Amino acid sequence: MKIVILDGYTENPGDLSWEGLEKLGELTVYDRTSLTDPKEAISRIGGAEAVITNKTPIPAEVIKACPSIKYIGVLATGYNIVDVAAAKARGIPVCNIPTYGTDAVGQFAIALLLEICHHIGHHDRAVKEGRWEKNADWCFWDYPLIELAEKTLGIIGFGRIGQTTGRIAKALNMKVIAHDAYPNEAGRAIAEYAGLDELFARSDVIALHCPLFPETQGIINKANIAKMKDGVIILNNSRGPLVVEQDLADALNSGKVYAAGLDVVSSEPIQGDNPLLKAKNCIITPHISWAPKESRKRLMDIAVENLAAFVKGSPVNVVNR
């Protein structure tokens, strides 16, 4: 079986091994493939039977032009880059990686929050620039420092990742409330479930951990921000389009929202005209919540398991049954 990986570098920049996939067939790995020119993907897939992608699109045009394809694997949880309907029509299973970075993403959400509360990176640079050495007092700080104990964290989307974030927040002695379409007992052990408007009104910090659906797209918008406390902190390391970026930028610049910690934006890589780049007190990182080596190793292992199951005739994690 010929296996092609269209964009392997982000998953494996050299610190992991492709050995597991090499054992399943003749493997070709491309570091990057054009995100905009389907002809390059078609050329590289050639006669391969198994195609694995991270962010390189596989639209109907590519599926039609590559009749040898029998399997499409996605090196991520999200699979919107693949035309799953076109694949299904051809009998091609599309398999994703549903749960590999739960702990990493929850940890990162709290890391964004702690950076907002203490600006550790900024103060580290200030010390190394000589400001502490030259300071008239025995210490200094350039931003308000925030204690999280007894403050309320509202989490929108309370699945595995949301619950992980909630557990860490409780360890910081925060109060946790959550909004989710499917409340469950595991969630109730961590948080109090609340309606969305109630969550907006009560939360000192709001964290987004929900999928991108039509009903959640743009959930952080001018109207909903108006329902929030003055000085609220907003965190998003879920999906960029959950936020109306101009509305959030305006709220940051006015002070209605005190700070935002974002690991995702609406168009990635970020575009130079994104209003959040110049917004006040806005931390933006380049979509790296998922990227610790331990997390990527789990992703790799599951990708191997997915393809091995397909080879045995019993595919798993199929998103287009």
Task: Report, as an integer, the average pLDDT of 80-109.
Answer: 97
Q: Cβ–Cβ contacts within 10 Å for residue 125, how many? A: 11
DSSP string, 83-139: -HHHHHHTT--EE---SS-HHHHHHHHHHHHHHHHH-HHHHHHHHHTTTTTT-SSS-
* pLDDT single digits (tens) 111-164: 999 999 999 999 999 999 999 999 999 999 999 999 999 999 999 999 999 999
DSSP string, 27-87: EEE-S---SS-HHHHHHHHTT-SEEEESSS-B-HHHHHH-TT--EEEESSS--TTB-HHHH
Q: Are residues 65 and 185 in the same domain?
A: no
Q: How far apart are CA 297 and CA 16, in angstroms?
A: 7
**Residue of 169, 209, 166 whose CA lies nearest to 188:** 166
Question: What's the domain count of the chain?
Answer: 2
The pTM of the full predicted model, rounded to 2 decimals, is 0.94
How much is the pLDDT for 74? 98
- Catalytic residues, by residue number, are 239, 268, 287
Task: Report, as an integer, the average pLDDT of 254-262.
Answer: 98
CATH number at residue 251: 3.40.50.720
How much is the pLDDT for 120? 97
Tokens standing for residue 167 = 């557990």
CB 171 within 8 A of CB 180: no
In a domain, 144, yes or no: yes
Give the 3-state secondary structure of residue 160: helix
| Residue 285: DSSP 8-state | -
* pLDDT single digits (tens) 273-300: 999 999 999 999 999 999 999 999 999 9
Domain range enclosing 83: 2-100+293-311
CB 289 within 8 A of CB 237: yes
Q: Are residues 150 and 298 in the same domain?
A: no
Spell out where 189-321 has E strands.
192-193, 205-208, 232-236, 257-262, 282-284
* pLDDT single digits (tens) 194-218: 999 999 999 999 999 999 999 999 9
In a domain, 317, yes or no: no
